[in-house]
Structure 1
Amino acid sequence: MERRLLADTRPLANPHFKRLWRANIVTVIGAQLTVVAVPAQIYAMTGSSAYVGLTGVFGLVPLVVFGLWGGALADVFDRRTLLMVTTTGLIVTSACFWLQAASGLENVWLLLCLFAVQQAFFAVNQPTRSALLPRLLDKELLPAANSLNMTVMQAGGIAGPLVGGALIPLIGFSWLYLLDTITLFATLSAVVRLPALPVMGATAVPGLSAVVDGFRYLRTQPVLMMSFGVDMIAMVFGMPRALFPEMAHVDFGGPSEGGLAFALLFAAIPAGAVVGGVLSGWVSHVERQGFAVIVSIIVWGLAMVGFGVSAMLAPSAPTVMLVLAVVMLAIGGGADMASAAFRMSMLQAAADDSVRGRLQGIFIVVVAGGPRIADVAHGATAAATGAAVAAAGGGVLVVVFTVLAALLVPAFVRYRITRVA
């Protein structure tokens, strides 16, 4: 029973995956230090939130462009070589962050351009990294491997900002960038020790036509298309993070500049994902992965309904309702972790190796773009209905549209893998 409950660690028996996973523990925290340092340094330079907001544009555009192109590259070149190049690029970029901070340059545009270059390397690195997993592990171990990877990512998303926020006043920006640079060498060491990973049956040329061919292939795969569609439903309608500042202040009585309620709301989803990852042993025993995705997203939607309702009821018992709101968000985070683990595993297992990189590139774009669309949609809706109603209503829409999608594409619900006993 305990083995089914706790995370399935069988993928760590593979020495290549084990080295990559261990290195990721260090590098994810280092990367999050830079995530914290860049907007903080921009604000320290300019005193303007408008300039800080430009990180969204300078980050999203290269993430979309190079995420799609990087997937095409990962379907042509040896994936080990591509990971070595992009990891080296991340190290050099991080070193440039350190150099500009240590030398006292006060140029916000230089900082934004460095951020864009970093995101471009990241956008090529991530689909390549995901596409190589089926070459290292059996298909039945992919959900467990993805759960382990996402647990580390989410834990870093909590620890990195906490550590970075505490260290900036003590050691300054340059040391945070330097720590990120140093930690990336752990990943480079793990990548160098991978075997050669040429693409099986590679026919693509890494250009626009290859990207288009990837979308054409996806159009012929209703199950894979559905995996993207239900994720967009969950994120666009159900991700309420843009509402957290207003809800923390208006509904839960926190100060306008932040405070405990604000911090708890932002930490709840990744914290729930970490707990879900630690208790993810069950994912390796699920054969009906499509049905599991549908259930996970419905749970996510219901959790967002509960979050919105708790905010509506907050004036009567703010402390109790804040606790309930955090619990609802944490449940949503755990459900989202499970959904993502299954969806990524389906992409890795069901797609041909020759197109796997491009599909992972599309996955990166969907994961990055969905929440940003949600920020706009939730913000506009909240202005008309109030933040709590917008959050609860979004959760209702997630449930309704997910059920409709399942009815429209029954092949997705029926999708299953045969687990080796």
Structure 2
Amino acid sequence: MNVAIRNPEFRALWLAEAQSVAGDHLTTVALAIVVYGRTGSALWAAVVYALTFLPALAGGLGLSQLADRFPRRTVLVTCALIQAVLVGAMAIPGTPLALLCVLVVGVRLAGAPVNAAQNALTREIFDDDEVYLRSQDLRGITTNIAMLAGLAAGGVLVTALGPSWALAIDAVTFAVAAAVVRWQVRARPPAGDPDGPWFGAAQWVFGQRRLRVLLAFSWLVGLAVVPEGLAAPLAHQIGAGEQAVGWLLAADPVGFILGAFVLSRFVSAENRRRYVGVLAIAAAGVLVVFALEPGLVLALVLLALAGAAGAYIITVGATFITWVPNELRGGAGGLYRTGLRVAQGLGVAMGGVLAEWVGSATTAIALAGVLGVVFTVPVALSWARVRSYAG
């Protein structure tokens, strides 16, 4: 990871992403407090929270194509400035609720091409597989830390400064990100054909068996996130109390951070590709132990272990981007990320349905683990057959 961070272009992209992620989660907390404070309605608070996800799903497939049709640095800077303006408008006290919803959608739509452009641009910066994979480890670790920091600091900042100032801070993070990328990342011409088919990247990806297998690995993450949606009922069932909900939510990302560090520090890129199937099975298999109805300490350990094994997804994403031609990486990256987010959303919803059906959060998590193992084994076997085709 040290080699990656020495590169000034990557360092700029890394810092811009980290502060934007922290700012996004700060905004999530601020919006929840603003909307609930005005309306007193849990439904409205949930609707606005949902609006932070839905545009990313809707725009991920379409708007990610911009990362191939225009210079990627330009896409990053422009989107960051648009987000700064829209979040700044959200920070104005007394903004009507309907307008607030429109602004939330606009911010997320503007962010749709950002991840695609950043992934593709990072692969352009690093042509060495090992260094590129280390850079993705650093991004994964930093993103999870920034997410935890943003959520943890969100309540404190909103309480101390008020929601408008918290939103203003997020607007500033986007403006800073735009400035850092503009001055530290060198200009490159568009990588793709501006006149090519809009969904050409998706068509090409689905025509490649090895990429379909990688997509399948990413979709399996949907089963791994089931415990996140059941944190509150899980805490209640194991007698841990409401204060344990935050610990249960934090266990997986903490494990992910540790797993990513260990893989980055001690395992080569080739060996990481070799162990992807094993780690994916392990990430699901650990959840099966919830059938024993563990106490709080064991539950936290199990979730951390699942998160650590789940760090395999960094290798999956990096390999996916590596095996896609540069001119298609923006659109292909949008397809990958959209599928991942849809799978996560469906997984959380499915976990709720399972828990309601069986009447037990621990049983629902264990069933998700069983399903994860059953679905992952054939994908892992397919991976063993296609892995030798390095791109």
TM-score by length of 2: 0.93
Distance between the aligned counterparts of 2:258 and 2:272, measured in 1? Answer: 20
Distance between the aligned counterparts of 1:409 and 1:160, measured in 2? Answer: 36
Post-superposition CA distance 1:265-295 (Å, at most 9, x none): 1111112122234434347613144432212
Distance between the aligned counterparts of 2:308 and 2:386, measured in 1? Answer: 22
Matched, 1:389 2:385: no
Name the residue aligned to 1:116: 105
Report the residue type matching 1:197 in the other structure.
Answer: R
| 1:237–1:397 CA contact under 8 A, matched in 2 | no
Post-superposition CA distance 1:366-398 (Å, at most 9, x none): 222111101221111111212111101111211
Report the residue type matching 1:367 in the other structure.
Answer: L
TM-score by length of 1: 0.87
Matched, 1:279 2:262: yes
Alignment length (residue pairs): 388
Shift of 1:119: 0.6
Post-superposition CA distance 1:150-175 (Å, at most 9, x none): 11110011111111112222211011
Matched, 1:233 2:220: yes
Name the residue aligned to 1:379: 352
The match for 1:10 among 3, 6, 9 is 3
Deviation larger for 406-415 or 108-117: 406-415
Name the residue aligned to 2:159: 169
Distance between the aligned counterparts of 1:133 and 1:322, measured in 2? Answer: 40
Q: 1:364 to 1:392 in 2, by over 3 A?
A: same
The match for 2:229 among 227, 234, 242 is 242
Shift of 1:302: 1.9
Shift of 1:25: 3.4
Give the secondary-structure state (helix, strand or coil) at the position aligned to 1:203: coil
The match for 2:71 among 53, 78, 89 is 78
Matched, 1:26 2:19: yes
Name the residue aligned to 1:4: none
Matched, 1:60 2:39: no
Q: 1:284 to 1:187 in 2, by over 3 A?
A: farther
Q: 1:215 to 1:384 in 2, by over 3 A?
A: same
Report the residue type matching 2:159 in the other structure.
Answer: P
1:72-221 aligned at under 5 Å gives the runs 72-99=65-92, 102=93, 104-105=94-95, 107-138=96-127, 139-193=129-183, 194-200=185-191, 202-205=192-195, 209-211=197-199, 213-221=200-208
Distance between the aligned counterparts of 1:410 and 1:340, measured in 2? Answer: 16
Name the residue aligned to 1:399: 373
Shift of 1:231: 1.8
| 1:382–1:389 CA contact under 8 A, matched in 2 | yes
Post-superposition CA distance 1:112-148 (Å, at most 9, x none): 2111111101111111111111111123212111110
Q: 1:110 to 1:284 in 2, by over 3 A?
A: farther
The percent of aligned pairs where both chains have the same amino acid is 25
Distance between the aligned counterparts of 1:182 and 1:159, measured in 2? Answer: 17
Shift of 1:94: 1.5
Distance between the aligned counterparts of 2:12 and 2:348, measured in 1? Answer: 36
Report the residue type matching 2:162 in the other structure.
Answer: G
Name the residue aligned to 2:340: 367
Q: 1:47 to 1:354 in 2, by over 3 A?
A: same
Shift of 1:238: 5.3
Q: 1:405 to 1:291 in 2, by over 3 A?
A: same
Deviation larger for 283-292 or 89-98: 283-292
Distance between the aligned counterparts of 2:330 and 2:17, measured in 1? Answer: 20
Q: Which runs of 5+ in 1 are unaligned?
A: 1-7, 314-320
Distance between the aligned counterparts of 1:408 and 1:293, measured in 2? Answer: 12
| 2:277–2:376 CA contact under 8 A, matched in 1 | yes
Give the secondary-structure state (helix, strand or coil) at the position aligned to 2:188: coil
Deviation larger for 58-67 or 327-336: 58-67
